[in-house]
Structure 1
Amino acid sequence: MPYKRLIPHCRDTQLLLSQAQDCRLSPLTRARVRVHLWTCEACTTFSRQLDVLRLAMQKLGRD
């Protein structure tokens, strides 16, 4: 089915989430990642873990 190509696989989504920590993703790519996160609990957990790590690193930088 053609719609499946619009939704990235887990490996691609995790790479994109990591890249999003350093640079802004295009609107289409952000939308594709959001759609994947709606359907994948593992990648949603990975995304939350990245957020926690980012916040921890920011706090370390302030001390």
Structure 2
Amino acid sequence: MPYKRLIPHCRDTQQLLSQAQDSNLPPLTRARVRVHLWTCTACTRFSQQLAFMRQAMQQLGKD
């Protein structure tokens, strides 16, 4: 069985954050992403930008 990192790399985290916009991630995966976000400013910023874009798209849909 291949070794999985406890904390995913930035590229993996950003893909998972994007996937989380469309569907729920499994609990262990969510926890791994959360741990990564605690330690990575770039991915935290990416997550905030995704949330901002999602909110903006929802507002556009209301107009």
Q: Tell me the TM-score normalized by structure 2.
A: 0.93
Unaligned runs of 5+ in 1: none
* Inter-partner Cα distance in structure 2 for 1:61 and 1:27: 30
CA displacement, residues 21-55 of structure 1 (integer Å, 9 cap, x when unaligned): 00000000000000000000000000000000000
* Inter-partner Cα distance in structure 1 for 2:58 and 2:29: 25
Number of equivalent positions: 60
Q: Tell me the TM-score normalized by structure 1.
A: 0.93
Structure 1: 4+ residue segments shifted above 6 A = none
What is the percent sequence identity of the aligned residues?
Answer: 78
Q: What do you get for the CA RMSD once the two structures are aligned?
A: 1.0
Unaligned runs of 5+ in 2: none
* Inter-partner Cα distance in structure 2 for 1:5 and 1:17: 17
Name the structure 1 match of 2:34: 34
